[in-house]
Amino acid sequence: MINTIAQAHGLLTEKDLLDALATFESDLNLALDPLVQQLARNIITGAPQDIQQHMGYVETWRDRVTRFLMVASACVEHAKSDHFDVISEKRVTENKREAYQRRLAGGWVALKIRLEHLIDSIDSRVNLCKKVLGIDAEVAASYRRAA
């Protein structure tokens, strides 16, 4: 799996870019499966300790998902770069150029959107856990008592 921006920029052919997309998507699905399973859990009826552990576990994924998002974003932009430009010919219109770039970047864009939504889901789940546990209210009350 591509793990760095430098590796993304090292994809020099259309075949390399599309092969990297297939590998990245497959590896990403395997890597994210534990997180996706946890996000599918109903935590509302859990014991406080279980909810705290769940919240901590889900939150630990934020950095990893952000790193995956960074790589996918780099691949989107690289796929749209002049490195993969259609050779200028009389018959190559701007629409054909854009269609070519969309074909190369489309899969990466879809993965980028998925990762952005997973980050939102992580944040939402952590906030829900805090609300269920009353953590936000407790923190605010402790600040008021200390002041």
Q: How confident is the model at residue 84 (pLDDT cuts 50, 70, 90)?
A: confident
Average pLDDT for 55-80: 96
Q: What is the tens place of the pLDDT at every residue in 91-120?
A: 778 788 888 888 999 999 999 999 999 999
Selected residue with higher pLDDT from 46 and 118: 118
* Res 2 pLDDT > 60: yes
Contact 133, 48 (CB under 8 A): yes
pLDDT, position 44: 86
pLDDT at residue 145 in the model: 61
- Sign of the dihedral defined by the CA atoms of residues 23, 26, 32, 34, in that order: negative
In sequence order, the 6+-apart residues with CB closer than 8 A to the CB of 104 are 14, 17, 18, 79, 80, 84
Flag whether pLDDT at 140 surpasses 60. Answer: no
How does the average pLDDT of the chain come out, rounded? Answer: 89
Asked whether the predicted pLDDT for residue 33 surpasses 60, the reply is: yes
Taking only the tens place, the pLDDT of each residue in 8-17 is: 999 999 999 9
Confidence of residue 139 (pLDDT cuts 50, 70, 90): low
pTM of structure = 0.85
Shortest CA distance to 20 belongs to which of 5, 35, 34?
Answer: 5
